[in-house]
Structure 1
Amino acid sequence: MKATQNPPTTAPVNSPADLLRMAALYLRRHGWHQGTYYAHTTDTLTPPACAAGAIGIACAGHRVEHFSQLDPDALADYLNALGVFVDYLDTTAPVFFVDEDGYLLDEHTSPYSWNDDPARTAEQVITALEAAADEWNSLRKAEGETR
Structure 2
Amino acid sequence: MKPSEILDAAANIILRDGWHQGTYFAFEPHDPREVCEEKNRTAPCCQAGAISRAAFGVALREGGLKEATDARVLAFSRASHYMLWHVQQTYNVTPIEWNDRPTTTKDDIVTALRGAADDARRAGE
Q: Count the aligned residue pairs.
A: 113
Residue equivalent to 1:20: 7
Unaligned runs of 5+ in 2: 29-35
The structure richer in helix per residue is 2
Determine whether 1:59 maps to 2:43: no
What is the TM-score of this pair, normalised by structure 2? 0.81
Residue equivalent to 2:33: none
Give, in angstroms, the shift of residue 79 of structure 1.
Answer: 1.3
Residue equivalent to 2:117: 133
Residue equivalent to 2:77: 79
Which amino acid is 2:48 matched to? A
SS at match of 2:45: coil
What is the TM-score of this pair, normalised by structure 1? 0.70
In 1: Cα distance, 2:87 partner to 2:95 partner: 8
What's the C-alpha RMSD, in Å, of the aligned pairs?
1.8
| Corresponding residue to 1:37 among 24, 27, 38 | 24
Give, in angstroms, the shift of residue 72 of structure 1.
Answer: 4.5
Deviations 1:103-131 (A, max 9, x none): xxxxxxx2111111111100100110001
- Structure 1 or 2, whichever has the larger Rg, is 1
* Counterpart contact for 1:37–1:53, Cα < 8 Å: yes
* Counterpart contact for 1:88–1:132, Cα < 8 Å: yes
* Counterpart contact for 1:46–1:63, Cα < 8 Å: no
Residue equivalent to 1:94: 92
Higher relative contact order (CA 8 A, sep 6+): 2
Give, in angstroms, the shift of residue 38 of structure 1.
Answer: 0.3
Deviations 1:63-104 (A, max 9, x none): 3233x3122523222211100111111211112xxxxxxxxx
